[in-house]
Structure 1
Amino acid sequence: MSRPRKAEDPTRWPVPCARCGQHHQTVARWPDGGICGYCYQQAKRTRGACACGHEGVLPGIDEGRPSCRRCSGIQVNVDCRTCGAEEELHSGGRCWSCVLGLTVDDLLADPARGTISPVLLPLAAALKTMKRANSGLTWIRQKHVTAFLRNLAATPEITHESFDELPDSPTRDYVRGLLTEHGVLPRRDELRIRYDNWAAQAPERLSDPRNRDLIRRYIRWHHQRRMNHMDEISRGTFLRAKQEVTVAIDLLNWLTRHDTSMSELTQTHLDLWQAEGPTTRRIAERFLKWAIKTKAAPSGLAIIPHRRGTSPRLPKSAQDEALRSVVNAEGIDNRDRAAAILILVFGQQAENIARLTWDNVSVTEELVTIQLGTIEIALPEPLDQPWRELAANPRHSLTASHPDSNWVFRGAAPGRHIHPGHLTQRLKRLFSTRAARLGTLHELTKLAPVAIIAEALGYSPTTIERHATDSATAYAQYIAATKAFNDRH
C-alpha cells in the first residue's frame, strides 16, 4: 500500500516533481525529469504490457503510456535475486513474495527437525502463495503472530482440541480458520462449540447454587437439544439462546433476593420483576413456559409478550431517498451498495444477505439475477452495477483466507462470510437496516399477494401475512381519517 503523502514544501524543495508536480524531495532523475520518492515507488509498482510487448514492471512514461525499462531508458532494480521475477524488491535483493516465503519457512519449521511438519505444508503453501505478499508479511511479522506460529510448529499434534486448550485470542481463531480452510483441520460448527462453552459457565452466575441445576436442565433440554437437530447453528439462534438463558438467570437471581424459589413463584412476582426492568425481560416467556411444562413452576403464570408491529419503519419517501443515495453517491463501497439494495428493495435481513453465495447470483453481460426465495429476481439498471463490480472484484481475494470461497460477502475470518452485525454497522451511516427492512415489507404487501412475496423473497407466509395485516390496518386508518376530514369540511 502506498505511503500517505506529506504536505509538499515548496520552500525546501523548490523544483516540482516531473510527474505529480508537487514539491517533494527528488530521489531520481529519469528521462522525463526529477522524480519524487512517492512517484518513484509508484513507478516500481506499475505493472502491465508495454507497447513493445514486454510484460512486467513499467516504470517509464512514453507518450502518456506506461513503458518498460528498455523503452524508457530508466535504470531501476526490480529483478528478484531469488526467483528472477520483475517485482518491487523488499530487502536483500528479494521481492516481497520471496521474503514472505523465507519467513514462513522459518516460522513453521519444527525446531527439533528443522523442516516443516507434513501436516502444516498446506498452511505454508497457502501463506507463501498469497497474491498480496506485503499484507501477509505485515501480518506474520507481528510479535504475537510470530510467537503463535513458532509454537504451532513445535506442537506434537494439531487438533481442534489442542487449539481449544490455548488462550482465547483473535490470532488463535484466525489461524484455526486458516487450518480449516486449507484442509489441515476438519470443519466444525464453531457457534455450537462457543455456545456449549458459554453454557458450561453461565450457571455460575446464579447467586443461589440450588438454581444451577434448573438452568443446566433448561440449557440442555431446551436449547442444546434443539441445536442438535440443526445442521449448523445460525448467528441468530446462537444469540437468542444466550439471551434467553441470561434473562432466565436474571429472573432467578431476582427471586433469590426476594427469598422466593421458582416453585413459589406467583403472578405478582412476575409482574413486579417485569415492571422493574427493561423490555428484554419479556424474553423470559420461553423459560417460564418450559419451567411450567417441567413442573418447576406453578401453572397459570404468564409474562406480557412483546407486541409486534411496534418497531419503527422507514417511510416510503425516506426509503426512496436512501436508495437514490446508495445508487448515486460516491465513496460507498460496492459491497455496501449491493447489500443495501437487497434491504431497501427486497426487505432482506442482514443475516440472510451475509449467507448468500455465488450459486444464488447470476451475472451475465445481459442480466444480473438473484435468488432470494424460490424465484430468480432480475436487477434492472442501475441496481445491477454494484453486483457486476463485486463479481469482478470480490473482497478478501488476495490473502490466504479465501482460496476458493463461494461467499458473495466474504468476511475477515478465513472461509467465512461477513458477520451480519458488521454488515449492519457498515450500513448504519446510510440508514437503519431494521427500519428500512420493515418499511420495505410494509410497502411490498400493498403491491402483491402474500404467497407471491413470501415465495420470491424467502420469507414465511406467516411473516408476510403479518406485514400485510399491518399495512391494511394503516390503510384503513388513513381512509377513516380522510373520510372524517371530508365530513367536517
Structure 2
Amino acid sequence: MRGLCDRCTLRDQLDVLFDAVPATMRSRFEPMRAALCECDQPRTVLNWVRNSHSAQLFADLTAAERTPTHEDLDCLARDVGRGDAQTIDYLRGILVTYQVLPERDELVARIERHLARTVRRHPEHALLLSPYVRWSLLPRARRASPRPAGSKHRIRWAYTRINTAVAFLTAMREQGLDLADVTQHQVDAWLAGAPSTRYEARDFVVWAARRGHSHPLLVPHRPKKDPVGLDEDSHWELLHQSLTDTTLPLDVRAASAVLLLFGQHLARIAALPTTALDQVDSHPVLVLAETPIRLPEPVALLLAELAAQPPPSGWAANSPHRWLFPGTRPGQHISSVALARRLAAHHIPIRPARTTALVQLAEDLPPAVLAPLLGLHPVTAEHWRRRAAIDWTAYLEARMSTRDGGAPVPGCPQP
C-alpha cells in the first residue's frame, strides 16, 4: 500500500498543529495555514512541522489562548541562550512572513534586546550604556533602516560598539577608575594592550566626552589597510566572464556583475529585491539608492533572467517575499556571508573588485552624483574621489618614468 504524498501528509500534519489552536484564535492563523497548505515545496514545511524547535514553540505559545506578539517573543529571547534566541527569531520570521505578526524594525529591536542583556550582565555600567545606546546608536540605526541593505552588518556594528564600550568601562573600573577620572595615558595603554578591535571604543569615548562624562579623550580611528584594487585588464576580464560564462551559477554571475560594475557591498547586493529592477522610459534600470541606474543590455538581461528564475527549494520557494538572492530563512534574502562564500568559491576577489569599481566610478562622477547613485554616504563618496585622484596621479607618474626609457612625457610638468 502506497503512502500519502507530501502535500496530503502536510495537510494532515497542519490539521493537527492548527486544530490545537484555541477556537477564538483560529481566524487569525487561517491565512498562514492556507499558505502553508498550498506552498510550492510541501516537504520543507513538513520537515518544519515534524522536526523543528520553532514549530514546538509555536504550539506552546498558541496553547496560551492568545495570539503571540513581538513583545512575547522578545521576553522569551531575553532569558535564553543564543541557540534558543535563534529559534525564537526563526519563528518570528515565519509569523511575519505569513502576516500573523506585523513587520517591524528588527534592527532597532535587536539592538534594544542586546542592550537589555548587556545591562543585566553589567548593571554597574547601566547609567552610561543606556543613554549611549538610546541617544547615539539607536537614532543612527533608525536613520539607516530605510537603506537598501541587509540589517545583519548593522546589527554587528551596534553590537561591536556596545561590547567595546563595556570592555573599556570594565578595564577602567578594574584599575579603580570612574570614567570621569580616566586620562589619555590610561586610554593609550588600554588600546596598546590588545588587537585593533579596541579602537571601536572610539564611538563611545567621543560620545562620553561630548556629554561631559569624561575629559576630552582621543581614540584614533581603527587602523585600516589601504584597499588594493585589480588592474584594469583583470577587472574587465572578470566582468566579461560574469556576463558570458554560462557554466557559472546564475546568482554568482549576477552578483559579481553588480559588484564589478557598481562597487556595492555584498550586504547591499544580497538584499536586492526583485523590485529593484524597473524600467524608466522603456529602458531597464537598477535602483540601488535614490537614482535609477540605466543598465547595459547584457547586464539587464542577466538580472532579468535571475529575477525570473524559480526560487530554490526551501522557505525561499514558500515565501511571498521575492528577493533577487533568496535565502534559506523564512522571508529572508541570502546572507552576505553566504554570498561571499559563493563568489569566493568561483574565484571572484570581492574587496579588490569593489575597490576598482568605485575608483573607476569616482574618476568619472563627482561625489554629489556618486553618493545618491550608489547609496554611499557623502563623506564616503568624497573619500573615493580622493582615492581616484591618488590613483590617477600614480598612473601619470608611472607613465612619466617609463616612457622613452625614463624620459618625461612631453607636455607634463616635471616632478
TM-score (norm 2): 0.82
Residue 222 of structure 1: aligned partner: 136
Within a 5 Å distance, the mapping from 1:114-153 to structure 2 comes to 117-142=26-51, 144=53, 147-153=56-62
Instruction: Give the 3-state SS of the residue equivalent to 2:67 in structure 1.
Output: coil
**Which residue of the other structure, out of 260, 271, 289, is the alignment partner of 2:188?**
271
Question: What residue identity is the alignment partner of 1:105?
Answer: D
**How far apart, in 1, do the equivalents of 2:146 and 2:399 lie?**
51
Residue 213 of structure 1: aligned partner: 127
Instruction: Give the 3-state SS of the residue equivalent to 1:386 in structure 2.
Output: helix
> Does residue 1:237 correspond to 2:154, yes or no?
yes
Offset from partner CA, 1:90-113 (integer Å, 9 cap, x none): 944x43322211121122212777
* Counterparts in 2 of 1:414 and 1:268: CA distance versus 1, 3 Å: same
Within a 5 Å distance, the mapping from 1:142-291 to structure 2 comes to 142=51, 144=53, 147-160=56-69, 161-166=71-76, 168-204=84-120, 206=122, 210-227=124-141, 234-291=151-208
Preserved CA contact (<8 Å) 2:202 2:221: yes
**Which residue of the other structure, out of 77, 86, 99, is the alignment partner of 2:9?**
99
* Counterparts in 2 of 1:317 and 1:271: CA distance versus 1, 3 Å: farther
**Which residue of the other structure, out of 332, 336, 343, is the alignment partner of 2:248?**
332
Q: Unpaired segments of 5 or more residues in structure 1?
A: 1-89
Higher alpha-carbon Rg: 1
Instruction: Give the 3-state SS of the residue equivalent to 1:456 in structure 2.
Output: helix
**How far apart, in 2, do the equivalents of 1:239 and 1:306 lie?**
16
Preserved CA contact (<8 Å) 2:107 2:145: no
- Over the aligned positions, Cα root-mean-square deviation in angstroms equals 3.3
* Counterparts in 2 of 1:120 and 1:143: CA distance versus 1, 3 Å: same
Residue 467 of structure 1: aligned partner: 384
Shift of 1:144: 3.7
Offset from partner CA, 1:194-231 (integer Å, 9 cap, x none): 2111111213555xx64442223322332235446666
**Which structure has greater strand proportion?**
1
**How far apart, in 1, do the equivalents of 2:316 and 2:164 lie?**
40
> Does residue 1:416 correspond to 2:332, yes or no?
yes
**Which residue of the other structure, out of 373, 386, 398, is the alignment partner of 2:302?**
386
> Does residue 1:297 correspond to 2:214, yes or no?
yes
Residue 355 of structure 2: aligned partner: 438
Q: Unpaired segments of 5 or more residues in structure 2?
A: 408-415
> Does residue 1:108 correspond to 2:3, yes or no?
no
* Counterparts in 2 of 1:232 and 1:197: CA distance versus 1, 3 Å: farther
Residue 346 of structure 1: aligned partner: 262
Question: What residue identity is the alignment partner of 2:30?
Answer: L
Q: Larger RCO: Structure 1 or Structure 2 (Cα < 8 Å, ≥ 6 residues apart)?
A: 2
Query: Aligned residues, how many?
Result: 394
* Counterparts in 2 of 1:451 and 1:198: CA distance versus 1, 3 Å: closer
Residue 377 of structure 1: aligned partner: 293
**How far apart, in 2, do the equivalents of 1:290 and 1:201 lie?**
22
Within a 5 Å distance, the mapping from 1:54-65 to structure 2 comes to none
Instruction: Give the 3-state SS of the residue equivalent to 1:277 in structure 2.
Output: coil
